[in-house]
Amino acid sequence: MYIKKLIGTQCYLAPLNIEDAEQYAVWLNDMEVTENLQLISSIIPVDGERELLKKLAQDHNYGIIDKKTNELIGNVGFIDINHLHRTAEIGIFIGNKGYWGKGYGREALSLLLDYAFKKLNLHNILLRVYDFNQRAVACYEKVGFKKIGEIRDGLTRNMEYHNIILMDILPADFYEANPQYKVEK
């Protein structure tokens, strides 16, 4: 059973469940899933994933759950939150490939960003994406992220160099791209 923390139309975000460690380990050892993640070169045992989930559960990281089936499909959360400067870095992945390209990632990001701006009082949220992951770049731009730079040749994948695109979002960017989340005054 999942606890509904942030609820959208297609999915909801739930606090991480340690019981999902095996599912995460399966996804994070799938080369197709991790092609766009830093974890591609890691070996993720179930026990290691269980320990990581315990740690991540304390820092605003959530399971992405399909609203109709209550099935875990991925993860979204913050890698680093700095409350003094009101900044954070965000990460997301959809592990269940049957849900790729169907808007779940966009909605999960939007739910977490709205929460971050309204409840956590964050102001600037950064993400990193590899230049070959154009599907993700398009998703992030739809949510309101702006490209702010690149780390040139910052990644070697398949014996080729790739840039790491840096993107960020401010509340004004998010609510302009997602007026349905704006608070009416």
CA pair distance 135, 183, nearest whole angstrom: 29
Phi, psi of 75 (to 5 degrees): -150, 145
Tokens 């315990």 locate to 54
Has 140 been annotated as catalytic? yes
CA pair distance 74, 108, nearest whole angstrom: 9
What is the secondary structure of 40-85 as a DSSP string?
GG----HHHHHHHHHHHTTTTEEEEEETTT--EEEEEEEEEEETTT
Residues in Cβ contact with 8 at an 8 Å cutoff, skipping those fewer than 6 apart: 67, 107, 108, 110, 111
Give the active site residue among 62, 130, 140, 175.
140
CA pair distance 115, 122, nearest whole angstrom: 9
> Which residues are known catalytic residues?
140
